[in-house]
Amino acid sequence: MTDFSEREINAIEQIFPACTVFLCDFHREQAWTRWVRKIENGVASCKQKVLSMLRRCAHATEPSEYNAALEYLKASKEWQENPKLQKWFTKQWIPHSKRWVWGNRCNKGVQVNTNNGLERQNGIFKYSFLEKKNDTSISGMISILILEYLPNSMRR
């Protein structure tokens, strides 16, 4: 599970061809919220309604539920009257729906999610333990995780 970094996704799926990288709900939600807040995108006045329709797509647990939510979004006044919304969601998010729609995770027997707490732990590891060791290999990173980060976390 990662944020929406196509370089990172491609790298992971090249190394592990049998895996599917899912998009972190926290980062997806953050990206959507930031986009709808921007005045120049033309949905700031109806951002809660747009976010609600986008979330309905994300929280779909069956393909039919996702398709219905997507059709509802596309039929809305907010969608119909906003080419920027149409372009952004059609190009950026719909092609990658297998990565962020909940039903796609459940159908694979995966029940993963991330939240701000997990992101905070990631930030501590990244900036407090890896920051000065940015040329570390994967085995070096795992060693730091096991020998430094986890013991430190247990002490706290």
pLDDT at 52: 96
Residue 20 backbone phi and psi in degrees, to 5: -115, 130
Same structural domain, 28 and 88:
yes
Same structural domain, 94 and 22:
yes
Same structural domain, 76 and 148:
no
pTM, entire model: 0.71
pLDDT at 119: 63
- Residue 48 placed within a domain: yes
Same structural domain, 45 and 79:
yes
Residue 110 contacts by C-beta under 8 Å, 6 or more apart in sequence? Answer: 22
Cα 145 to Cα 133: distance, rounded to the nearest angstrom: 12
Looking at the structure of the chain, the number of domains it has is: 2
- Spell out, as residue ranges, where the chain has pLDDT lower than 70: 106-120, 123, 127, 134-135
- Residue 1 placed within a domain: no
Residue 27 contacts by C-beta under 8 Å, 6 or more apart in sequence? Answer: 2, 3, 4, 114, 119
Same structural domain, 97 and 138:
no
Same structural domain, 58 and 82:
yes
**Which domain, by its residues, includes 20?**
6-106
Same structural domain, 95 and 146:
no
The type of residue at 11 is A
pLDDT at 147: 87
Residue 35 contacts by C-beta under 8 Å, 6 or more apart in sequence? Answer: 41, 88
Same structural domain, 101 and 30:
yes
The DSSP output letter for 76 is: S
- Residue 111 placed within a domain: no
Q: Where are the beta strands (DSSP E) in 26-147?
A: none
